[in-house]
A and B are shown apart, each in its own frame.
Chain A
Amino acid sequence: MLRAAIRSLLARKVRLVLTGLSVVLGVSFMAGTYVLTDTMTAAFNELVDTGYSSIDVLVRSSNAFTAQTSSLEEREPMPGSVLDVVAGVPGVAEAVGDVVGYAQIVDPATGKVIGTFGPPTAASGWNELNGFTLKPGGSPPQGSDQVVIDAATAESHDIQVGERVQILFEGPPGEFEVVGLAGYGEEDSLFGATWALFDLPTAQGVLGKQDQLDSVSVVAAEGVTGVDLQREISAVLPEGAEAVTAATVTSEAQDQISTGLGFLRTAFLVFAFVALFVGAFIIFNTFAIIVAQRTRELALFRALGASGRQVLTSVIVEAFVIGVVSSILGVVGGIGIAILLKGALNATGFEIPASGTVILPRTFVVSIVVGTLVTVVAAVVPARRAARVAPIEALREAQDRPGRSLRFRLVSGAVVLALGLVPLAYGLFGAPANALQLVGLGVAFTFIGVAMLTPMIARPVAAALGSPIRRTGVPGKLGRENAMRNPRRTAATASALMIGLGLVVFVAVFGASAKASTTAILERTLKADFILTSPTFSGFSTSAAEDMRRVPGVETVSQIRQAESHIDDGTAFVTGLDPATFEAVSEVGIVEGSLTELTRPDTIAIFEEAATDNGWGIGDTIAVEWPATGEGELEVVAIYSENGLIGDWAVSLETFDANVAQRLDVFVLIKAQADADVAAVQSDLEEALAAYPNIEVQDQAAFRDKYATFLNQVLNLVTALLIFAVIIALFGVMNTLYLSIYERTRELGLLRAVGLTRRQTRSMVRWEAVIISVMGALFGVVVGIAFGWALQQALASEGFSELGIPGGQLAIYVVFAALLGVFFAVFPARRAARLNVLEAISYE
């Protein structure tokens, strides 16, 4: 039996390759993700080692809070006097203070800011201990007019030593002469961040940290260990400061990196699993078709004395071999993908150090085990079907065997669908801790359930889709009949496409809903005439708002800041706003209390639903953990119903600034005087913003467009990654067509004999592909809209008030699926057209 299984594998090479391909692609994605993230982790760890290699102890503020959404730690600076305290400790050979903060370099050639998306943009003091090294031909920065910038930024924007550059800060921007370029260890940059380095007094000045320090780097004297020195220093530090060894800082930083890359890995792995999931459908379908085609052969084995178990084993062995071989090829392909992805990330600005590719044994083991497992599991149902073939069937004419009853399929499909919908609904609406996993599981089972039910409607759907095609002539008519003749096969092939396209459609619906909801919210609440934002909604200097107040015709300027903090042990984005002016520029829908109460210290306004969910009312105090200052308590003084712009938690700017280290405005809302010429005010605002190339001033309509465009960019990336799954599904269409053509050899011979031309034969196969593809696309559209609707319902209270269905975009997807179906049918169609008529007729 084993030999028979292997023989059968080798006998059909095209089938083998196409079946294996679906596994190869999915495994490649997975292995590629591992290789890429492992490579990045190794490279970054090395970089961190370099950075702390020359120090023994680091002194820093002890209030820390690691934000989930930002790689930069937020710590309140220490008083500058801490340096003298540290320097005075016996055993300290050298102690150097440093500050770090937000800074953005402006490209002198284009006048645009550098680094608006992705890696951090920062400034710090220049010293010998922080890891930066001066490139030849430059000198260290001295005085308030000089800066050293990282070599990678200088290179990519063609900035020369001696040139003058403008740099933006939290406070007013400044202009400096570039006196040198710096590398970080062996590299030209630190993770692709843009970095501006000043002498310490200048850095303290531009970063708004006069007489303050963020850290003190300490080198121990000869013979003193870091651990000992850390203990010595800790003993004399004032409250609010702490000393840690270089080893501790290094491992903290490396932990942070692996957490950050962990997110990236998980994100990519999700797409890899989607691809494998689609691949599993194709494996299942291929084996189901093969088993049906080999019924007589299998029955002959049974008649010759093979047990059902042996037949089952032979099919499983076939799947196992395909799985192992494809997975190994997948790992090889994955290494290629990793190199491609690395290039893609580099192109978006993340500088990945050019060290060797890291391939861990884990990558091989996990990829091959998962790939093989998916293949074997997908083949189990067809294998069981094979084992049930009765010996007598060897004697019957080959024809489609009746499957299990429709009732059985209906019931089992509905059960699986329920198994998907329940965790999906609970994950979305029940808000459990592991919501993401539940939703993922729910989505997977929902897809399987729908796929189990689709054979019941595949026939009428194919008939309906094919009815306009039928009129195009005999090839169209035959193509339609072929798509209808085996609903299970058509449905399974279409289902693979449904999954990929369903997710793409879901993303599109999500995007359209977000856009529609945002527009609705902004139209309802925004009263400002102009909005200042940076292109990527990152923060910008607070001095911009000050400058705006001086523009003639401006009545109100209201600043909004945002920071991550913890409220009631959960991550929360807290908004800082100006209670005196905010209601003039935006509707908040006060339910209870008043915003003006926020002027009192340690008070907070909360969103209606957050209040109800937690049972909080006016006068209650809630626990908060701030990024810079740590734990505190806030009194609820207002409850509001409009959270579109300010989220669920809002405090006054004073409270915000007292507790958050980085003070950048995210939005500045401006209202013009009632009698002012709005267009003139806008041009005056623009003029006043000339010094801030990273800020845009927009009216409401432009602002809404920008928001939508930003969202689309993110969603397009997700869609691009999902296209992988769609491509795999299309290979599935190709595989099914090949298998069907093989099965219909005699029929094709007959058609050719009675006068069907090769062109007509190709056309017939293509029409079948179109029907299958469009069916899959339509199923995908239906399921995708359903998922989008479910998510919108779940997020309705978060401001997702509208369901948007981008009809035009979805129509394009369907048309595109049809065209791709035609494209992937080219080879099977050619195969069908080239059949030798005589051989085909006498084919047994």
Chain B
Amino acid sequence: MSAVHEAVPPAAAARAVGLTKIYGEGDAAVRALDDVSVEFEGARFTAIMGPSGSGKSTLLHCMAGLDAPSNGSIFIGDIDLTTLSEKNLTLLRREKVGFVFQAFNLIPTLTAAENITLPLDIAGDKPDKGWFDLVVDTVGLRDRLSHRPAELSGGQQQRVASARALVSRPEIVFADEPTGNLDSKSGHELLGFLRSAVKDHDQTIVMVTHDAAAASFADRIVFLADGRVVDEMLEPTTERVLDRLKSLEA
């Protein structure tokens, strides 16, 4: 565990500087992100919240290198994503970023174990056996490893997806409404697991959610409205988040 505890990065794991994203052109243009500058600290669990259309998913997609911004810069560590070629962006996603989506996280033809090691396999790397076992046991999938996605419950599928996001020890994990399709019990299990990855293993996680209870698992919440960062909250609780959301929507 020593490797995990000693190297807490001093600077932000990822940051956006003057990030603007405009969809469409002319009169139909929509400003999804408007000059957003935000930092995501390492070894912290950050949630992004905001009403529908606030730009929270767009911010996540741009940060993760899945969408190209119209203006501004995005850094993962000290690499500026906006300067990277398509190929290098793909390599960056493979090596430094992990993903958990709301749904359809797994390749149906591969077993749970194969899905977990997919990013490593794509890169041609061998998984670290000890770390793999630890991740698998933490998410409680030991006896499900040889099953295909169709044979797993929704909660199990999301845990496989989380395990996949963590197994390559990426610099940062982006989660887009990971509990959106789960019942509350499975959702809490998953969030607890993400939280422990941050607490026990110094993983950096950024999660978009609209669920106040989910957001309360985070260390910090960034609030977005109309494409701008409007507020922040540290050490959130469900009640405080709900209050803040009410005031944002008012």
Verify that A and B bind, or say they do not: yes
CA distance A747 to B66 in the complex (A): 15
Q: Which of A477, A481, A482, A755 has the most CB of B within 10 A?
A: A755
Q: Which residue of B lies closest to A477 (CB)?
A: B121
Q: Is A810 in the interface zone, CB < 8 Å from B?
A: no
- Residues 95-133 (chain B) with a chain A CB within 8 angstroms: 95, 99, 101, 104-110, 118-119, 121-124
Q: Is A478 in the interface zone, CB < 8 Å from B?
A: yes
12 sampled A-B residue pairs with Cβ under 8 A? A474-B122, A477-B121, A481-B109, A485-B109, A747-B108, A750-B104, A752-B90, A755-B94, A755-B122, A756-B122, A757-B90, A759-B87
Known contacts A474-B121, A838-B67, then 20 further A-B pairs from the complex at CB < 8 Å, ordered by chain A residue: A474-B118, A481-B107, A481-B110, A482-B109, A484-B109, A485-B109, A746-B104, A750-B106, A753-B66, A754-B94, A754-B99, A755-B90, A755-B93, A755-B122, A755-B123, A757-B87, A758-B86, A758-B90, A759-B87, A841-B66
CA distance A485 to B121 in the complex (A): 20
Q: Is B150 in the interface zone, CB < 8 Å from A?
A: yes
Q: Which residue of B lies closest to A757 (CB)?
A: B90
Q: Is A473 in the interface zone, CB < 8 Å from B?
A: yes
Task: Specify which chain A residues have a CB less than 8 angstroms from the CB of B105 in the assembled complex.
Answer: 750
Q: Is the beta-carbon distance between B118 and A838 smaller than 8 angstroms? A: no
Q: Is the beta-carbon distance between A756 and B90 smaller than 8 angstroms? A: yes
CA distance A498 to B38 in the complex (A): 59
Closest 3 CB pairs of A and B: A755-B94, A481-B109, A474-B121
Q: Which residue of A lies closest to B118 (CB)?
A: A754
Q: Is B61 in the interface zone, CB < 8 Å from A?
A: yes
- Residues 699-758 (chain A) with a chain B CB within 8 angstroms: 746-747, 750-758
A: interface residue count bin: 20 to 34
CA distance A756 to B93 in the complex (A): 9
Task: Specify which chain B residues have a CB less than 8 angstroms from the CB of A747 in the assembled complex.
Answer: 104, 107-108
Q: Nearest chain A CB to B180's CB is how many angstroms away?
A: 13
Task: Specify which chain A residues have a CB less than 8 angstroms from the CB of B94 in the assembled complex.
Answer: 754-756
Q: Which residue of B lies closest to A746 (CB)?
A: B104
- Residues 829-844 (chain A) with a chain B CB within 8 angstroms: 837-838, 841
Task: Specify which chain B residues have a CB less than 8 angstroms from the CB of A399 in the assembled complex.
Answer: 150
Q: Which of B95, B107, B150 contacts A750 (CB 8 A)?
A: B107
Task: Specify which chain B residues have a CB less than 8 angstroms from the CB of A760 in the assembled complex.
Answer: 122
Q: Is the beta-carbon distance between B90 and A478 smaller than 8 angstroms? A: no
CA distance A841 to B93 in the complex (A): 15
Q: Is the beta-carbon distance between B121 and A753 smaller than 8 angstroms? A: no
**Contact code string B159-197 (vs A, CB < 8 Å = 1, else 0):** 000001000000000000000000000000000000000
Q: Is the beta-carbon distance between B101 and A754 smaller than 8 angstroms? A: no
CA distance A485 to B149 in the complex (A): 13
Q: Which of A473, A478, A841 contacts B124 (CB 8 A)?
A: A473
**Contact code string B52-68 (vs A, CB < 8 Å = 1, else 0):** 00000000010010110
Task: Specify which chain A residues have a CB less than 8 angstroms from the CB of B122 in the assembled complex.
Answer: 474, 751, 754-756, 760
Task: Specify which chain B residues have a CB less than 8 angstroms from the CB of A756 in the assembled complex.
Answer: 90, 94, 122
Q: Nearest chain A CB to B112's CB is how many angstroms away?
A: 14
Q: Is B91 in the interface zone, CB < 8 Å from A?
A: yes
Q: Nearest chain A CB to B48's CB is how many angstroms away?
A: 17
Task: Specify which chain A residues have a CB less than 8 angstroms from the CB of B118 in the assembled complex.
Answer: 474, 751, 754
Chain A residues at the B interface, C-beta cutoff of 8 Å: 399, 473-474, 477-478, 481-482, 484-485, 746-747, 750-760, 837-838, 841
CA distance A760 to B123 in the complex (A): 10
Task: Specify which chain A residues have a CB less than 8 angstroms from the CB of B87 in the assembled complex.
Answer: 757-759
Q: Nearest chain B CB to A775's CB is how many angstroms away?
A: 17
Q: Is the beta-carbon distance between A754 and B104 smaller than 8 angstroms? A: no
Q: Nearest chain B CB to A383's CB is how many angstroms away?
A: 27
Q: Is the beta-carbon distance between A755 and B107 smaller than 8 angstroms? A: no
| Given contacts A399-B150, A746-B104, A750-B107, A757 and B91 within 8 Å (CB-CB) | yes
Task: Specify which chain B residues have a CB less than 8 angstroms from the CB of A746 in the assembled complex.
Answer: 104
Q: Nearest chain B CB to A836's CB is how many angstroms away?
A: 9
Task: Specify which chain B residues have a CB less than 8 angstroms from the CB of A757 in the assembled complex.
Answer: 87, 90-91
Task: Specify which chain B residues have a CB less than 8 angstroms from the CB of A751 in the assembled complex.
Answer: 107, 118, 122
Task: Specify which chain B residues have a CB less than 8 angstroms from the CB of A478 in the assembled complex.
Answer: 107, 109-110
Q: Which residue of B lies closest to A752 (CB)?
A: B90
Q: Which of B61, B90, B106, B110 has the most CB of A within 10 A?
A: B90
| Given contacts A474-B118, A474-B121, A753 and B110 within 8 Å (CB-CB) | no
CA distance A485 to B93 in the complex (A): 27
Task: Specify which chain B residues have a CB less than 8 angstroms from the CB of A841 in the assembled complex.
Answer: 66, 101, 104
CA distance A837 to B65 in the complex (A): 10
Q: Is the beta-carbon distance between B164 and A754 smaller than 8 angstroms? A: yes
CA distance A757 to B122 in the complex (A): 9
Q: Nearest chain B CB to A749's CB is how many angstroms away?
A: 9
Q: Is the beta-carbon distance between B119 and A754 smaller than 8 angstroms? A: yes
CA distance A792 to B109 in the complex (A): 44
Q: Which residue of B lies closest to A484 (CB)?
A: B109
CA distance A188 to B168 in the complex (A): 80
CA distance A754 to B150 in the complex (A): 20
CA distance A756 to B110 in the complex (A): 15
Task: Specify which chain A residues have a CB less than 8 angstroms from the CB of B90 in the assembled complex.
Answer: 752, 755-758
Q: Which residue of A lies closest to B103 (CB)?
A: A746
CA distance A747 to B95 in the complex (A): 19
Q: Which of B99, B104, B110, B124 has the most CB of A within 10 A?
A: B104
Q: Nearest chain B CB to A235's CB is how many angstroms away?
A: 90
Q: Which residue of A lies closest to B176 (CB)?
A: A841
CA distance A838 to B91 in the complex (A): 16
| Given contacts A474-B118, A747-B107, A747-B108, A753 and B99 within 8 Å (CB-CB) | yes
CA distance A753 to B175 in the complex (A): 13
Q: Nearest chain A CB to B43's CB is how many angstroms away?
A: 22
CA distance A838 to B93 in the complex (A): 13
Q: Nearest chain A CB to B96's CB is how many angstroms away?
A: 10
Task: Specify which chain A residues have a CB less than 8 angstroms from the CB of B108 in the assembled complex.
Answer: 485, 747
CA distance A477 to B106 in the complex (A): 15
Q: Nearest chain A CB to B150's CB is how many angstroms away?
A: 7
Q: Which of B66, B104, B124 contacts A838 (CB 8 A)?
A: B66
| Given contacts A478-B109, A750-B104, A755 and B119 within 8 Å (CB-CB) | yes
CA distance A759 to B64 in the complex (A): 21
